[in-house]
Amino acid sequence: MRDYMASSQFQPHRARQAIQDAHMKRTPSLIGYYAGLAVPITRRLAPMGFDWVWIDWEHSAMNVETDYAFMSNGRTIPFVRVPGHDEAMIAYALGAGASIVAPYVETVEQAKPIVSAVCTAPFRYLAGLTDTPVDPERGFWESLNGQAAVMIQIESLEAIQNLDAILTEVPGIDAVWLGALDARPEWLEAVVLYRATVEKHNKPHAGITLAKGDELPADALKLGELMGDLAASKETLALK
């Protein structure tokens, strides 16, 4: 991912280009890891060469700036899942050098200010100005706004049904993450609509990758055994 580094590590990577290159098969699919437990874990994983890391600021008290400092000198692209759609939170994550994951986006009205918050003025949503065709020559602002990527999370049936309108009316969304851990039949049918919509707009889709078949429950059992081993070790040490 060094090829997508910005001129300064205080700026986000050229994540938009990295996503587009992978989507167009110019590079392999991007594989990342989830950092939602503690900062030291990221420090250990950073040298392993993952393409990107998901820093979860929504469900944990992660220190975004410190976590980014562990990103192995720019070899891993950091994405921060912000706690909501607040512009100040998005600005903080951008200032730390990250791209943005926006949770629970369901409507056009929610998506527009998210993309606007990621963009640097003068490229903001102003009726009659920035919603009109722009000069094709790539200048300073276009270059700066071509760095941080915007990934939205679709996590409900309503969001899937509104996705076509969102991708039609809100330019600047780089990828769509589907929260697809619901196994009900009606949800599986909705996933078909999601995939068709994403393909219609030629957008990359993203999601969590789980082990297949018996491997997933086996891994879960191993994790449970590990926790038991840690508890037993703690008791043993307490007796000494």
Catalytic residues: 59
Q: How far apart are CA 57 and CA 171, in angstroms?
A: 25
Measured CA to CA in angstroms, residue 9 lies from 14, 19, 37, 93 at distances of 11, 19, 24, 13
Residue that has been written with the tokens 């030629």 in this structure:
202
Residue that has been written with the tokens 């409900």 in this structure:
156
Q: 170: part of which helix (H) or strand (E)?
A: none
Provide the 3-class DSSP secondary structure of residue 18: helix
Looking at the chain, which runs of residues are DSSP E strands? 32-35, 52-56, 77-81, 99-102, 150-154, 175-178, 205-206
Q: How far apart are CA 42 and CA 67, in angstroms?
A: 7
Q: How far apart are CA 51 and CA 217, in angstroms?
A: 27
For residue 106, report the phi and psi dihedrals to the nearest 5 degrees.
-120, -20
